[in-house]
Amino acid sequence: VEVITNNSSFQEIPIIDIFSLLGVNDNPKSVRKTREEIEDACKNVGFFYVKNHQIPQNHLDAVIS
């Protein structure tokens, strides 16, 4: 098992706009940029906040309750 350690620290939670991944905009550069942002956040921070996911608020509320 390979163990990857990362000694970097972060100052804020990464916020990633995933709208380009929803198939509305078929711009390969935008999709690549979003993919790279997700990869960087996962490798260097371990988590991120997703923006523009298009999940209705009532679904999110149901999950929380």
pTM of the model: 0.74
Instruction: Say if 48 falls within a structural domain.
Output: yes
Check residue 7 and give its pLDDT.
58
> Is the distance from CB of 10 to CB of 44 less than 8 angstroms?
yes
In DSSP terms, 15 is beta-bridged to 49
pLDDT bin (cut points 50, 70, 90) of residue 5 is: low
- Whether residue 21 lies inside any domain: the answer is yes
Tens digits of per-residue pLDDT, 17-56? 999 999 877 789 999 999 999 999 999 999 999 999 999 9
Rounded Cα–Cα distance for residues 40 and 14 (Å): 9
The two tokens of residue 1 are: 């098992």
User: Domain residues for 60?
Assistant: 15-64
d(CA 54, CA 42): 21
1 lies in a domain? no
Residue 3 reports pLDDT greater than 60 = no
Domains held by the chain: number = 1
